């Protein structure tokens, strides 16, 4: 039997994982949820900035995708 995964379910799993990683790095739940849903953000770069002492909200502004 073959298991079928929908794009929506896979996308939800990715957003959830990204949100968890951001929260574990010090991002607040609301900001983490907002960023997790936007693939334009480089998750690793965000976490690296925060690990170097940048406040999460500022890291998000610095690395915000162009509009």
**pLDDT averaged per 10 residues, the chain (length 67):** 55 95 97 96 97 98 93
pLDDT score for 3: 44
pLDDT score for 52: 97
Angle at which helices 7-24 and 43-51 cross, to 10°: 10
Residue 61 has which token pair? 């502004």
User: Hey, where are the domains in the chain?
Assistant: 8-62
């Amino acid at each position: 039997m073959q298991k079928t995964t929908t794009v929506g379910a896979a996308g939800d799993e990715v957003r959830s994982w990204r949100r968890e990683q951001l929260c574990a790095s010090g991002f607040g739940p609301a900001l983490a949820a907002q960023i997790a849903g936007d693939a334009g953000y480089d998750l690793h770069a965000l976490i690296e900035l925060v690990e170097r002492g940048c406040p999460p909200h500022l890291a998000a502004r610095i690395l915000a995708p162009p509009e």
